[in-house]
Structure 1
Amino acid sequence: MFVQLICKDRNEKEMNELYEVLAALCHREGIQIEDKGSHVEILACPQGKIVVTEEDGNMILSANTRHAGAGFHAFVVDLFKDIQEEVPLGEYELIDDLEYANDEDFHRLHHVYENELDYVKNLILTDSDFRKKNYLYDETYFLPIEDENKVMTSTGFMDRKEFMNKEIEDLMDDFYVWNDWDRDARFYRNAALTLLAKEGRGIYSKMNEETEKTANEIADYLEIAHEKDPDLKLPVKEYTELVDLLDRENKLKDALPMDREAIQYRTREVYHLFEDARVVAPGTAERSYDPSQQSVNLMAPYTNEGEWSWLIQASKQPAILPDAKDLMEEKPEIFKGKTIWMDTYEEDGIHNINAVIRQDEEYLYIHAITNNSKDVPYLQECIRLSGFAH
């Protein structure tokens, strides 16, 4: 489920012409195009991204369409063909592993995604290792912590029995955003539910510029969905909480509420992914990476009126713990097959936790600090639950 367009042997002027055409096409379609410095990203929906790179005089446009759905796959193929029509001079190579570019049979394409979901459903029900992997999103820095009685979907938890008995056609909106040809009301609702599950941060929605932008996108999607189909059931409760936080006008006062709650995975503890390590912390934690320490830093979430109270730093390098060797000479605890050395102390009013986790032959080093002693037991428990993906 992959589409790629290679625009071959382009000089600088020709490259610029292609970028101008791309920008115009994105404006026509009402989708975002962003320059990331090393590459350009075209954001068609929360699970659908086209990445544009340059290599050896070629412009390469690539899209993984596995998570977004048949509608996104068809959209990408059509967009790539539009580029070739707008800039007919020059050599192109269009690669489509589902061959939609050849027959443009959307019914057949949709059936491919139904078969894929049927395969995934069987794995979720029968393979415990698969359930612990990222089968939800095209890319993510976190995974929800699994619940034995529930199934994780890209729009939130679903009761295992309900999941088992649901027909594939009825599960499509819980796994794919773009299931029809058009971006209809269901598309915008699915986009909002997916963003809520993946990036919803509840009361911390205005924590920083990025979280506030996402919150506004969710509200925008739901308002468009309601405008397109006033009878479509929507997550009215979550929308109302968001617009109140954002000081936006409530445009869904007459909307029908959904029968189930819209889950926001980040409003609870999750696995924050770092190489092959998994660090447990609230999903709302603010994340950064320190290249000098080769560590991931997770900072306590905060509202726009507050400030962070704790920090977890994790690395596979022992340098973040100057006393790692001394710490490992102490008696460790055994927790769920892991060997854990942990030391807690107070210095200048700051509570510090140093820990080393050994799982099989791998080591994870964690340093946590907090200005509140009440946070210490919680941070210790997060550390104990952390480890490696295997």
Structure 2
Amino acid sequence: MYVQLICKDRNEKEMNELYEVLGALCEREGVQIEDRGASVEILVCPQGKIVVTEDDMTMVMTANTRHAGAGFHAFVVDLFKDIEEEVPGEYELIDDLEYANDEDFHRLHHVYENELDYIRKLLLTDPAFRQKNYLYDETYFLPMEKENRVLTSIGDMDRDTFMHKELHDLMDAFYVWNDWDRDARFYRNAALTLLAKEGVGAYTNMNEQTKKVANEVCDDLEIAHEKDPELPLPVKEYTELVDLLGRENKLKDAPKMEKDAIQYRTEDVYHLFDDARIVAPGAAERSYDPITKSVNLMAPYTDDGQWSWLIQASTHPDIVTNRKALEEQEPELVDGKSIWFDDWMEDGYYVLEAMLRYDNRTLYFHDVAVSEREIPYLKQCVRQSGFMSE
């Protein structure tokens, strides 16, 4: 599910003209366009973006539409056709769903329903598929599995309900844009997806990016309420955000959703790294050390700047400082994994090292904590970590 527009044989002046038209069209449609250096990104919705790249005298605009929905796919096709009309030149428009040929949105919507039916069957029958990133267009974390629950992009669902729910009624749980227009449900879905994928709750004011996301969530919910005052919204989460941001509360009379909105990053999640899954809070600050080939996850902190622990994980043993002592420990057996632990105090900090082995693969940990009371939690994170294909 993708759409691509290839703009062929363009000199520098013609390239600049294309960018100018793109900017004007984005302003018309009310979507963001951002220069990333090697590419330009048009951010249409939380699960849908258009990436613009250059190759010699060719400009290529590409959108993966699998996760955003039929509305986004149709939007991209229409945008690309507008570009073809506005700027003369040679083009090649590629649409694997052929909406560009018939512009039959009803048929296009059924394509996404069929795709969701296929995903549902896999989720109900294939444990390995449930460990893959079927939720988001791109992410470095996945929500942790819950027994007899199915994870969706806007929250988990009872397995039996998921199995018997009508496909049309299930669409909002997997796609952001399901109708032709960006209606109230579109904006609610966008806000719920942002809350799930990016929400960091009490840590919203941690940096400028989280503030930007929080403001976008609030904007989307206010637009949804304006378009349909009867549509139930995540009022609780909205109120928390406007209080943190110092915004005016514009949803005081809005009906509330029955369930709280899911914010995966306020919970423990699987942080994806190579073929490993490292368990830590979703709001943990993440960095990568290319020398030790390790991922570093620091506990989320509030404005006082106090940190409580740091997890360093790698498939290479270099991060372990006392491997001999670690291997001398009696291993635990957890869900088919053998895990060795060793902990001690050093220079006023508590150190936990661990080695997790599953089949012929090994994962190493070097964790540091301010307080000894953090060690049991860090050990539990190790026990729940593992590999993608267990």
TM-score scaled by length of structure 2? 0.97
| Structure 1 unpaired stretches of 5+ | none
C-alpha distance after superposition, 1:53-110 (max 9, x if no partner): 1123211111110010000000011111111111112x21111000001111111101
Q: Counterpart of 1:98 in 2: which secondary structure?
A: coil
Instruction: Show the counterpart of 1:27.
Output: 27
Q: Counterpart of 2:258 in 1: which secondary structure?
A: coil
- Return the offset for 1:17: 1.7
The letter for the 2-side match of 1:365 is Y
Matches within 5 A, 1:345-356: 345-356=344-355
- Return the offset for 1:124: 1.5
The letter for the 1-side match of 2:343 is T
The letter for the 1-side match of 2:245 is L
4+ residue runs over 6 A deviation: none
Instruction: Show the counterpart of 2:96.
Output: 97
Instruction: Show the counterpart of 1:121.
Output: 120
In structure 2, C-alpha distance between the alignment counterparts of 1:181 and 1:324, rounded to whole Å:
59
The letter for the 1-side match of 2:6 is I
The letter for the 1-side match of 2:303 is N
In structure 1, C-alpha distance between the alignment counterparts of 2:50 and 2:110, rounded to whole Å:
23
CA contact (8 A) 2:266 2:283 kept: yes
How big is the alpha-carbon RMSD for the aligned residues of Structure 1 and Structure 2? 1.3
The letter for the 2-side match of 1:349 is G
Q: Give the percent of matched residue pairs that are identical in Structure 1 and Structure 2.
A: 72
In structure 2, C-alpha distance between the alignment counterparts of 1:275 and 1:11, rounded to whole Å:
40
Instruction: Show the counterpart of 1:286.
Output: 285
Instruction: Show the counterpart of 1:333.
Output: 332
In structure 2, C-alpha distance between the alignment counterparts of 1:59 and 1:295, rounded to whole Å:
36
CA contact (8 A) 2:357 2:363 kept: yes
The letter for the 2-side match of 1:223 is E
Instruction: Show the counterpart of 1:246.
Output: 245
- Return the offset for 1:206: 1.4
Aligned residue-pair number: 389
Instruction: Show the counterpart of 1:10.
Output: 10
- Return the offset for 1:326: 5.0
In structure 1, C-alpha distance between the alignment counterparts of 2:281 and 2:44, rounded to whole Å:
28
| Farther-moved stretch of structure 1 (160-169 vs 215-224) | 160-169
C-alpha distance after superposition, 1:285-307 (max 9, x if no partner): 11122223222111101122342
Q: Counterpart of 2:135 in 1: which secondary structure?
A: coil
- Return the offset for 1:5: 0.9
In structure 2, C-alpha distance between the alignment counterparts of 1:319 and 1:129, rounded to whole Å:
30
Are 1:87 and 2:87 matched, yes or no?
yes
| Farther-moved stretch of structure 1 (278-287 vs 119-128) | 119-128
- Return the offset for 1:111: 0.8
Matches within 5 A, 1:98-247: 98-247=97-246
Are 1:266 and 2:254 matched, yes or no?
no
- Return the offset for 1:266: 1.5
CA contact (8 A) 2:329 2:342 kept: no
CA contact (8 A) 2:191 2:217 kept: yes
In structure 2, C-alpha distance between the alignment counterparts of 1:11 and 1:325, rounded to whole Å:
62
Instruction: Show the counterpart of 1:37.
Output: 37
- Return the offset for 1:284: 1.4
CA contact (8 A) 2:242 2:249 kept: yes
Q: Counterpart of 1:379 in 2: which secondary structure?
A: helix
| Farther-moved stretch of structure 1 (97-106 vs 12-21) | 12-21
The letter for the 2-side match of 1:149 is N
| Farther-moved stretch of structure 1 (298-307 vs 131-140) | 298-307
The letter for the 1-side match of 2:217 is I
CA contact (8 A) 2:325 2:342 kept: no
Q: Counterpart of 2:206 in 1: which secondary structure?
A: coil
The letter for the 1-side match of 2:54 is E
CA contact (8 A) 2:355 2:364 kept: yes
In structure 1, C-alpha distance between the alignment counterparts of 2:30 and 2:261, rounded to whole Å:
26
In structure 2, C-alpha distance between the alignment counterparts of 1:217 and 1:178, rounded to whole Å:
16
C-alpha distance after superposition, 1:99-131 (max 9, x if no partner): 001111111101101111111112212222222
TM-score scaled by length of structure 1? 0.97
The letter for the 2-side match of 1:150 is R
